[in-house]
Amino acid sequence: MKKLLLIGIVLLISVALPISASATQYENKPYHWGFKKSKNHQPASIAQEPFAPLIPKYESFFIGNIEEKELYLTFDNGYENGYTEKVLDVLLEKKVPAAFFVTGHYLKDQPHLVKRMVKEGHTVGNHSWHHPDLTTVSDARLKEELDKVKSEYEALTGKKDMTYLRPPRGIFSERTLALSKQLGYTNVFWSLAYKDWETDNQKGWKYAYDKIMQQVHPGAIMLLHSVSKDNAEALGKVIDDLRKQGYTFKSLDALLFDDPMQNAR
């Protein structure tokens, strides 16, 4: 009888804790995403970073097939600054897929833009509800941050396809990678970016264009922020000129499910 009671208690605990009770075994040392930028259009690298082994271990990725001239456009959308509609217009005109990582604020504040993203075939990923440093929150809070975004997205769009996560602020740990993986997410980092999010320090479309074109490389996952006026104005020419160089633009689904070379170079 005692044995049956004990089994019952264990089963109740397992049901109540959707995240593995062994989560505490993972190190929670915070890492800020960093990489060696591309030079001469060679692939960016994280080989020199202490977190490099964690990326393939938890089936995360930051770069695609470096043998192919394929690119993956991603945008982080924490709030709206009036330029996402222009970005979507360009993507529609050029027939380019992109991924938009949204916060809870963005879902509540810009539901029509999220619906448009889905309608026009883009991927919508999770950027957490409040945009916290996930290494500083409890397991339960981490789950809540991600679940609330997914639930709001599903209620808004009727879609149940939110499987990609971009850690807020680019901060992560082995623990956050492990827990988010248990929740069904693939962490998506990046291999091309520049300081584009300062809305009071925009420098013109040519600056954005040059920063992107200088770093581009085969397999690049490009991180841009749609709060940037420069990005919105440069995007069309960026796409046209990269296509002239032989690049093609693909979705994250094509990257993940075509089983490309995902490595930590």
Q: Is residue 131 part of a domain?
A: yes
Q: Is residue 15 part of a domain?
A: no
Q: Is residue 7 part of a domain?
A: no
Whether the pLDDT of residue 75 is over 60: the answer is: yes
Q: Is residue 242 part of a domain?
A: yes
Whether the pLDDT of residue 259 is over 70: the answer is: no
Q: Is residue 31 part of a domain?
A: no
What is the model's pLDDT at position 20?
52
Q: Catalytic amino acids?
A: 76, 225
More confident residue, 34 or 24: 34
Task: Estimate to the nearest angstrom the gap between the alpha carbon of 105 and the chain centroid.
Answer: 17
> The domain that contains 223 carries what CATH number?
3.20.20.370
Instruction: With cut-offs at 50, 70 and 90, classify the pLDDT of residue 25.
Output: confident
Q: Is residue 263 part of a domain?
A: no
Helix (H, G, I), strand (E, B) or coil at 207: helix
Which residue is associated with the tokens 């990725």?
61
Whether the pLDDT of residue 187 is over 50: the answer is: yes
Whether the pLDDT of residue 4 is over 50: the answer is: no
Instruction: With cut-offs at 50, 70 and 90, classify the pLDDT of residue 61.
Output: very high
For 89-105, the pLDDT digits (tens) are 999 999 999 999 999 99
Number of domains in the chain: 1
List the domain range (segments joined by +) for residue 154: 44-195+204-257
Percentage of the chain exceeding pLDDT 70: 88
Q: Is residue 98 part of a domain?
A: yes
Q: Is residue 76 part of a domain?
A: yes
